Every structure is written in structure tokens, then in C-alpha cells.
Amino acid sequence: MTLPKGYLDFAESDYSALDVETLRRIFGKMRAIVRYNISDADATIAANNPTTPVEWIMAVKRVNVVCPKCNGSGIYEWGACVNGRMTHSGPCARCGGTGRMTFDDMRRYKAYVGYEIAKAFRS
């Protein structure tokens, strides 16, 4: 059984029409995306106090946390520390330079990493 096309972009009313097993599989896929990016994903999702399967899915879509890569600054710095400053910096790819990560940012970053890994192995 396959998941409905475009299930990550459904509205709440679209999820209500699906059966419980499909909702559980959708929640599992969405939860895996959040777990890929933040360590306390389950606590972050449960903070919205969801009770029904649709509410659990909507809780995942409402995830909004401080970016763990740039610590909320929006600027990722790397390299050697010279006179208290890092030698390289640029906009954080994980949060898109905003300092906060939403579910859509997590989706985008996971797809980006998968693309870069595949590109590295093609070369």
C-alpha cells in the first residue's frame, strides 16, 4: 500500500479523510524527518499535546525549534579560531539562515543532504 501523493503538503481536512493505518504510516515518515534533524524530536512533538492521529501529524508540521547547527544565529561558522573569530562563515544551510527550523526546513535539508551524498558517490 502506497502513501497518497503529496501527503506532506495536505491540509488538516485532507488527513481526516484517511484511515488510521495510513495516518500512522504518514506520521512515521514525518517523525523520521524531524528525528533526522533534532535529537529530542519526540518531546518536541508531544509538547503540542496531540491526542488523535491527525493531531499528531499536525503537531509534527508545527515543529519550530532553534537550529542546532548555528545555535539560532543564522550564520554557520567553521575553520580555525583566530583572535576569537572563526576563519569561515556563511548562511546556515540547515535553517536557511533564519536561526529557526520548521518542518519544511527539515524536509529541505534532509533532501539536500541526500542529494549531496548521491552526487559525491556518482563522481
31-57 pLDDT, tens digit each: 999 999 888 889 999 998 999 999 999
Cell of 65: 525549534
pLDDT value at residue 2: 85
Task: Note the pLDDT of residue 10.
Answer: 92
What would the pLDDT profile of 78-117 be if each residue is shown by its tens digit? 999 999 888 999 999 899 899 999 999 999 999 988 898 9
For the full predicted model, state whether its pTM sits above 0.95: no
